[in-house]
Amino acid sequence: MTKVDFYLVDEPGEPALLRFVCRLTQKIFALGHQIHIHAES
């Protein structure tokens, strides 16, 4: 079954959001899971 997770980032600002996304993506990749990132650009 497909699993979807949503996250709330406590730290304000785009730099904090990008750091979070990069860390999460790195962790998911290292675990061998698939990830889809939907972004504006």
- pLDDT tens-digit map of 1-41: 888 889 898 999 999 999 999 999 999 999 999 888 888 87
Question: What CA–CA distance (Å, rounded) separates 19 from 24?
Answer: 9
**Cβ-contact 37, 21 below 8 angstroms:** yes
> What percentage of residues in the chain have a pLDDT greater than 90?
59
Q: Where are the alpha helices (DSSP H) in the chain?
A: 14-30
Q: Which of 26, 16, 14, 11 is nearest to 37 (CA)?
A: 26
